[in-house]
Amino acid sequence: MRKSIAVGISAGLLVAFAGLAPAQAAVPAASTSPGTGSVSVLHAIPGLTLDISVDGRVVVDDFEPGTLLGPLKIAAGTHTVDISASNPLELGGSANGSPLVGLALSGSSTVTVTANRSFTAVAHLTDAGIPTATLFNDNTAPLAAGQGRLTVRHVAAAPAVDVLANGAVAVAGLTNPSEAVLDLPVGTISAVVAAAGTTAPLLGPADVMIAPRTNTIVYAWGSLAEGDLALFVQTVRTRAAASASVSVLHAIPGVVVDVYVDDKLVIDDFEPGTLTKTFRIAAGTYTLAITAADAADASAPVIGPVDLAVASGLNYTAVAHLSEAGVPTAALFTNDTSAPGDGQGRLTVRHVAAAPAVDVLANGAPAITGLTNPNESLLVLPVGTISAAVAAAGTTAALIGPADVDIASSTNTIVYAWGSLADGTLALAVQTVPTKK
């Protein structure tokens, strides 16, 4: 009988094996199909050739040390694969077939593969030099712009180690079979593996590329006592960051403008009271400049330039408006898309007018009091229609309205008070943003 290491993968996808890489292997971002995960297998036991069997069926013979199998796209769920010594005598078995002690992957004879995740199963030595196996979850979380991910895994027959990057300790006291994960600026680092508390290289120095949208995984494997320590590098694509959603509202009366983002014209001849469509943009910081209509470029803005930071997965509205004193300015609001609850909707009121503090009346009663420019107030209300009016703080005489405002389920209804009280141009603008259900 052969020594076995159980790994969870599906027999139905055996033809998905990728080629074996002798030094470095790339893994795509986990699963492009719903209900599947990605599994790779790294052979990190020196001097031992392995066979791979899936549900009792041999699929790969003579799997050599220092090579990576896969990635395999496999159905989510619990599956079993056997990683066995091609020659049992290599692991101390007997020629008459007496049983060998089985090795369990991460302490179990089977593993559960989760959909849309990436895993690497590693056959390796313990710090005491005993063959074992560990299942690692490859971190594919989105990275910030200009960042890459470095994962260091200790799977060698060696005591705790430090990992030095460009001569400085980046990971301290890493033990077998643990890992450390760092998000670093994109570029190349000089990596060294040293005994914990020392700087003399056991491995390296070696140049390691930190690439965008990539988890670069470095394995220290082999045996210190046998003098066969080595590095293996695997790259796994990370998930793309969710885009930010941004709309733009022009709330300065009587002036047509152009809008530039990072010195590029994005809105031409923007009319007052107009709300753009929703733009999907990458998370990051953008420079906004608003110029007179038909300006040659963004060099002489009437508003800005101002840096606006937007985060992955959030919803925003950028508003060009007047300050309370009537000075053109801009504000970036984050739109609340959390679920308002069954039978309810969200009402957001934003004061972006050249006017002092105001109260907002709903069906004749104050619902919001003392709202100042450029602030907002949020309410969760029953679905239906309300009669809304804006009045000077502490009064009920309408400066704007009354106007019917629909409160819809799974919706943030955003009402802007804009314009100028002194110039008699106060008005309402209404925006609706879908919320989670």
Query: Are 307 and 409 found together in one domain?
Result: no
Q: How far is CA 432 from CA 66, 313, 374, 377, 419, in A?
A: 56, 17, 19, 15, 20
**Token output for 77:** 């769920």
Q: Any idea what the CATH number is for the domain that residue 431 is in? A: 2.60.40
Query: Are 168 and 254 found together in one domain?
Result: no
pLDDT, tens digit (0-9, with 9 covering 90-100), for 130-169: 988 888 999 999 888 889 999 999 999 999 999 999 999 9
Query: Are 225 and 274 found together in one domain?
Result: no
Query: Which residue type is seen at 96?
Result: N
**Token output for 173:** 């006291």
Query: Are 305 and 408 found together in one domain?
Result: no
Q: Quick one: CA dihedral 53, 57, 62, 67, positive or negative? A: negative
SS (HEC) of the chain? CCCEEEECCCHHHHHHCCCCECCEEEECCCCCCCCEEEEEEEEECCCCCEEEEECCEEEEEEECCCEEEEEEEEECEEECEEEEECCHHHHCCCCCCCCCCCECECCECCEEECCCCEEEEEEEECCCCCEEEEEEEECCCCCCCCEEEEEEEEEEECCCEEEEECCEEEEEEECCCCEEEEEEECEEEEEEEEECCCCCEEEEEEEEEECCCEEEEEEEEEECCCCCCEEEEEEEECCCCCCEEEEEEEECCCCCEEEEECCEEEEEEECCCCECCCEEECCEEEEEEEEECCCCCCCCCCEEEEEEEECCCCEEEEEEEECCCCCEEEEEEEECCCCCCCCEEEEEEEEEEECCCEEEEECCEEEEEEECCCCEEEEEEECEEEEEEEEECCCCCEEEEEEEEEECCCEEEEEEEEEECCCCCCEEEEEEEECCC
Distance CA 183, CA 167 (A): 18
pLDDT for the residue numbered 69: 86
Tell me if the pTM is above 0.85.
Answer: no
Distance CA 326, CA 219 (A): 62
Query: Are 131 and 279 found together in one domain?
Result: no
Query: Are 224 and 257 found together in one domain?
Result: no
Where among 237, 255, 288 does a domain terminate?
237
**Token output for 332:** 């970036």
pLDDT for the residue numbered 424: 96
pLDDT for the residue numbered 109: 53
Query: Are 302 and 180 found together in one domain?
Result: no
Query: Are 233 and 325 found together in one domain?
Result: no
Number of structural domains (the chain) is 3
Query: Are 226 and 82 found together in one domain?
Result: yes
pLDDT for the residue numbered 405: 95
Distance CA 258, CA 290 (A): 6
Where among 278, 302, 335 does a domain terminate?
335
Query: Are 385 and 275 found together in one domain?
Result: no
Full residue range of the structural domain in which residue 396 is found? 336-437
Local mean pLDDT, 10-residue blocks, the chain (437 residues): 33 26 40 70 90 70 89 79 65 37 51 82 92 91 90 97 95 97 96 95 94 96 96 94 92 96 96 95 91 94 93 94 96 96 95 97 93 97 95 94 94 97 96 95
Where among 305, 335, 365 does a domain terminate?
335
Query: Are 16 and 157 found together in one domain?
Result: yes
pLDDT, tens digit (0-9, with 9 covering 90-100), for 167-180: 999 999 999 999 99
**Token output for 43:** 């052979």
Query: Are 131 and 43 found together in one domain?
Result: yes
